Amino acid sequence: MPQPSPRSEPAHAPAPLPLPLRLLRVVANRLITPRMRRVTLGGSDLEGFTTAGPDQQVKLYFPRSGQTEPVLPAPGPDGDVMRWYASYSALPEATRPWMRSYTLRAHDPAAGTVDIDFFLHGGAGDPDGEGPATRWARSARPGDAVGMFGPSAVFATPVDPGSGDWTLLYADACALPALATVVAALPPGQRAVAYVHVPDAAEVQPLPTAGQLTVRPLYGDTSAVEVVRADPLPDGRPYVWLAGEASAVRALRRHLVEERGVDRQAVHFTGYWRRRLTQDDAPTTEDLAEARERLAAG
C-alpha cells in the first residue's frame, strides 16, 4: 500500500527530476474542529515550492519513538524514486520512519509554509485505535521535524472537478482536507453535491467555493451508499470524486456505476484507510482487485 507506484512510463523518459523529498519543521499546530488538527510546516526545503491543482497528495515520514528527526535516505543523483524507496525499505524497522499519506490543505508561498489537516481518529470507544501519524499530530510542537515526499504529478491522477455537467463528491472526515481543495477548484456556477461524512456536526467545516455547492452532511455510522441510493441525482453527466474508508468508497463507486449508469471513467476514487488495518499492512484481495481496475482504466 505505501509504495509509490508511477502511473506509467513516458515513451521517451525526460531527464530525471530531483526527488520531491523534503525535511520540514512544524511552525504551528492548532485544533480547527474538536477532531481536526491543522499543522503548519515550513523550512528552507520549501523554497521555490509550487503546487498544481487540487487534491495534492504527499507521503509524510514521522520519527520513531526516541528519534528527534525521521531517518531518511539521501536521494541518489539519478532521481530514481524506486531506488530511493528500496533504500527506505531496507532501513531497519526500528529506525525506519513511519510513512503515511496526507493531503496539502493549503500552500502559502509568501510565508513559505504548507498546511496539513490531521483527522484525530481513535480515542475512547473507537475499535480502530489511533496510529503513529495521529499520535504525532496530537502532540507536534513548533520545531518538530517531519519528512515529506511529493506532491508529484508522476504519482497522481489529475482531478478536474469541472469536467462534468455537475459534480458529485464524497469524503469522510480524513478526506475532508482533500475535498475542501476540490470544492475550492470548482468552476464558477458549477453544480455540485458534496456528501460529507463526519462523526458529528462539530466536524462540518465551511467549504468556500465559486461553485453552486449543496453540502449533505452524514453523521457517524450512517451508510453513505444508502443515503446516495435514496437521493435523486441531477440530470446530466457527473464528474465524481470519492475518498474515505475503502469499503465505503467501493460501495459508492459500484452503486454509481452499476445502478446509476455513471461512466466509470468519470469516477475518481481513493480508499484512504481500511478498518482494523494500518497503512503498513499488506493490500487485501479487494485492494489488489481495485488496483488492477485502476490500471486497466488507464
Interface residue list for ligand FAD (CB under 6 A): 57, 100-103, 117-119, 121-122, 128-134, 174, 177-178, 270, 272-279
Of 48, 168, 73, 60, residue with least CA distance to 104: 60
Beta strands at 238-245 and 166-172: parallel, antiparallel or unpaired: parallel
Q: How far is the CB of 82 from ligand FAD (least distance, A)?
A: 19
Closer CB to ligand FAD, 41 or 191, in the complex: 41
* Closest-approach residue to ligand FAD (CB): 131
Q: How far is the CB of 132 from ligand FAD (least distance, A)?
A: 4
Closer CB to ligand FAD, 191 or 250, in the complex: 250
Closer CB to ligand FAD, 215 or 277, in the complex: 277
Distance CA 206, CA 223 (A): 23
Q: How far is the CB of 1 from ligand FAD (least distance, A)?
A: 8
Residue listed under C-alpha cell 469541472 = 162
Q: Where are the beta strands (DSSP E) in the chain?
A: 21-33, 36-42, 57-62, 98-108, 113-119, 145-149, 166-172, 191-198, 212-219, 238-245, 267-273
Residue listed under C-alpha cell 483527522 = 119
Q: How far is the CB of 294 from ligand FAD (least distance, A)?
A: 13
Distance CA 199, CA 204 (A): 9
Q: Is 112 helix (H, G, I), strand (E, B) or coil?
A: coil
Q: How far is the CB of 60 from ligand FAD (least distance, A)?
A: 9
Closer CB to ligand FAD, 72 or 246, in the complex: 246
Distance CA 103, CA 242 (A): 14
Closer CB to ligand FAD, 190 or 207, in the complex: 207
Closer CB to ligand FAD, 139 or 261, in the complex: 139
Q: What angle do CA 174, 179, 182 make, to 5 degrees?
A: 155
Distance CA 153, CA 151 (A): 7
Closer CB to ligand FAD, 28 or 233, in the complex: 28
Q: How far is the CB of 176 from ligand FAD (least distance, A)?
A: 8
Q: How far is the CB of 87 from ligand FAD (least distance, A)?
A: 22
